[in-house]
């Protein structure tokens, strides 16, 4: 059975309790209280008339003073409140200032041949009032119990979870990570969303720490060399040839540090999709840019560049500078796998279903482990333990392609190397 929402459950419990209470009130009044009140009134009235009858007998034939003496004697022995009025309404005797507030009975008696109104009461409150008072007292207790139960339920369902979430937020400020809990449905959703957000923040923080550590490590090595060669240049006995050699080494190390920092800057800037400067670019112009920027450089490294396309007339909407960065990073990654050996890098561009597919393939040996292929787009991940830069190149490619609403992946190819494939929507 599907669990009811906590709000509905609480409302249902309150309705049931009110219905039970109403039924109890109706039953108690109809089957007990009303009959009890009538019975008590009848009994009290009978007691009053019995007392009045006794007093009237005792005062019959007496003088007014003797009659009052008899009344006083009776009330002293049996208790009660008495009022005696003459036929003009004047009070002749009373032991109570106001009998109107009492449950009393009245009869006419004759003293010395004159009519007198005798009022008597032995009950200070209306019969049944004590029952009603007790009933109200118990009803207050019952309603208070309902309120306490409702507060307890609402506390367990609402207040406690809110306090728990607030505590987790406060604890996280001091380094204690929250965890998922079992709570009422909506509160659990808030708690779990907060936990997921914290997990993502922690992952991002770990990435940032790794990047900082990696950048620090990658800069420290060439920087140490720069300091070492600069220290040697202080030696006045160095030959001119050695000085030039050391200066060249310092320049190369400094240039390497510049490349590392540029790659880090690219990684940061690629996080924002809004920075893209989109324009419609033909496939032919992209091929021309690739040839112009990379063909001669690869030729100097004994690497052939081949480009094949069946859609040179098609266009894509891209940021040309960032797309050039994608090709640069992929080709640079391929070059590192040749390790100064001759090789081939081929770029195949094809069109299908309004998509442009780019495949950059090399024959540099590929990646032996399938698990490594799945992770090469992660920041800082590299299969080359002797890397000279921070391992952000392919991660930057993934960010750029994703910003263009495309996809990118890698696989080992049939010519003994690695293929990086990315697909972009056509213009």
Mean pLDDT per 10-residue run, the chain (427 residues)?
53 72 72 73 83 86 87 88 88 79 82 88 64 70 74 68 81 82 78 84 78 70 81 79 84 79 67 75 92 83 89 90 86 78 88 93 83 79 53 80 91 88 91
Q: Is residue 186 part of a domain?
A: no
Of 79, 104, 129, the position where a domain reaches its end is 129
Q: Give the model's pLDDT for residue 420.
A: 92
Q: Is residue 365 part of a domain?
A: yes
pTM above 0.85, yes or no: no
Q: Give the model's pLDDT for residue 259.
A: 72
Q: Are residues 339 and 380 in the same domain?
A: yes
H-helix or E-strand spanning residue 261: helix 240-269
Q: Give the model's pLDDT for residue 285.
A: 93
Q: Are residues 217 and 320 in the same domain?
A: no
Q: CA–CA distance from 138 to each of 7, 34, 128, 133, 309 (Å)?
A: 29, 17, 15, 9, 92
Give residue for tokens 């309603």: 143
Q: Are residues 294 and 377 in the same domain?
A: yes
Q: Give the model's pLDDT for residue 15.
A: 75
Q: Is residue 312 part of a domain?
A: yes
Q: Give the model's pLDDT for residue 386.
A: 47
Of 106, 129, 152, the position where a domain reaches its end is 129
Q: Are residues 286 and 367 in the same domain?
A: yes
Q: Are residues 88 and 202 in the same domain?
A: no
Q: Is residue 164 part of a domain?
A: no
Angle between helices 129-154 and 6-28 (to 10 degrees): 170
Q: Are residues 14 and 119 in the same domain?
A: yes
Q: What is the domain-level CATH number for residue 94? A: 3.30.450
Q: Is residue 156 part of a domain?
A: no
Q: Is residue 161 part of a domain?
A: no
| 200, two tokens | 């993502």
Please give the tally of structural domains in the chain. 3
Q: Are residues 263 and 375 in the same domain?
A: no
Q: Give the model's pLDDT for residue 101.
A: 65
Give residue for tokens 């039970």: 20
Of 210, 235, 269, the position where a domain reaches its end is 269
Residue 340, phi-psi category: left (phi > 0), alpha (psi -120 to 50), beta (remainder): left
Q: Give the model's pLDDT for residue 292.
A: 87
Domain that holds residue 253: 195-269
Q: Give the model's pLDDT for residue 357.
A: 94
């Amino acid at each position: 059975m599907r669990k009811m929402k906590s709000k509905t459950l609480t409302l249902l419990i309150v309705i049931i309790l009110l219905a039970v209470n109403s039924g109890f009130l109706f039953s108690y009044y109809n089957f007990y209280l009303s009959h009890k009140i009538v019975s008590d009134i009848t009994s009290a009235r009978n007691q009053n008339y019995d007392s009045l009858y006794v007093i009237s007998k005792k005062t019959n034939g007496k003088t007014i003073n003797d009659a009052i003496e008899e009344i006083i004697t009776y009330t002293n022995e049996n208790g009660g409140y008495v009022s005696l009025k003459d036929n003009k309404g004047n009070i002749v005797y009373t032991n109570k200032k106001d009998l109107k507030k009492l449950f009393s009975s009245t009869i006419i008696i004759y003293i010395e041949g004159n009519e007198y109104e005798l009022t008597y009461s032995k009950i200070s409150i209306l019969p049944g009032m004590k029952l009603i008072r007790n009933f109200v007292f118990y009803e207050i207790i019952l309603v208070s119990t309902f309120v306490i139960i409702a507060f307890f339920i609402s506390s367990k369902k609402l207040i406690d979870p809110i306090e728990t979430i607030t505590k987790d937020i406060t604890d996280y400020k001091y380094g204690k990570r929250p965890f998922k809990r079992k709570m009422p449905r909506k509160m659990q959703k808030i708690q779990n969303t907060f936990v997921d957000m914290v997990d993502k923040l922690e992952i991002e923080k770990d990435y940032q720490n790794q990047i900082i550590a990696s950048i620090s490590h990658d800069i420290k090595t060439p920087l140490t060399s720069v300091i070492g060669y600069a220290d040697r240049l202080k030696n006045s006995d160095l030959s001119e040839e050695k000085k030039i050699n050391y200066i060249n080494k310092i320049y190369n190390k400094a240039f390497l540090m510049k490349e590392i920092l540029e790659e880090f800057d690219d990684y940061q800037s690629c996080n924002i999709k809004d920075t893209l400067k989109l324009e419609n670019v033909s496939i032919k112009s992209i091929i021309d840019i690739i040839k112009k920027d990379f063909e001669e450089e690869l030729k100097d490294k004994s690497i052939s560049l081949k480009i094949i396309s069946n859609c040179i007339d098609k266009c894509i909407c891209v940021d040309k500078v960032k797309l050039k960065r994608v090709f640069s990073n992929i080709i640079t990654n391929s070059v590192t796998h040749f390790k100064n050996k001759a090789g081939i890098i081929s770029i195949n561009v094809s069109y299908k279903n309004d998509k442009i597919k780019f495949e950059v393939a090399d024959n540099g040996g590929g990646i032996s482990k399938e698990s490594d292929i799945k992770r090469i787009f992660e920041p800082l991940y590299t299969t080359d333990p002797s890397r000279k830069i921070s391992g952000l190149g392919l991660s930057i490619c993934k960010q750029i392609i994703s910003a263009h609403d495309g996809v990118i992946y890698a696989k080992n190819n049939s010519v003994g190397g690695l293929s990086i494939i990315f697909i972009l929507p056509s213009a």
